[in-house]
């Protein structure tokens, strides 16, 4: 799957440039920008998911994690997920 984005070019003296400097100072976490109750995520491109997806590595990780939950814990997790789906897991102020 290709990742497409629109690039907006900014000048070094723009207000947004100062916000981008803050992104560099946050320990590997994206920065949320909130306007009118809507939050957007701002992160550095080198922190984003890259095209270096390795299916074999993912399979190995899943295999290594298998068996970490007991069957009972798995059933509890599924029950929680289905309940959250029924009740709605989004915040009340979000459609």
Q: What's the token pair of residue 29?
A: 């976490």
Spatial distance between the Cα atoms of 81 and 58, rounded to a whole number of angstroms: 23
- Mean pLDDT on 32-55: 72
Stronger pLDDT, 73 or 55, i.e. the higher one? 73
- Mean pLDDT on 60-78: 91
Output b/e per residue, 56-82; b: 16+ Cβ within 10 A.
eeeeeeeeeeeeeeeeeeeeeeeeeee
Q: What is the pLDDT of residue 36?
A: 87
Q: What is the pLDDT of residue 80?
A: 92
- Mean pLDDT on 32-38: 83
- Mean pLDDT on 82-87: 86
Residue 75 — φ and ψ, nearest 5°?
Answer: -65, -40
Contact 51, 45 (CB under 8 A): no
- Please tell me the pTM assigned to this model: 0.33
């Amino acid at each position: 799957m290709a990742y497409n984005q629109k690039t907006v070019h900014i000048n070094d003296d723009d207000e947004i440039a100062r916000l981008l400097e803050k992104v560099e100072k946050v320990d590997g976490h994206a920065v949320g920008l909130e306007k009118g109750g809507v939050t957007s995520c701002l992160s550095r491109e080198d922190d984003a998911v890259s095209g270096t997806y390795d299916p074999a590595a993912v399979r190995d990780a899943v295999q290594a994690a298998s068996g970490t939950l007991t069957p009972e814990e798995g059933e509890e997790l599924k029950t929680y997920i289905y309940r959250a789906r029924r009740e709605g897991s989004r915040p009340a102020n979000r459609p």
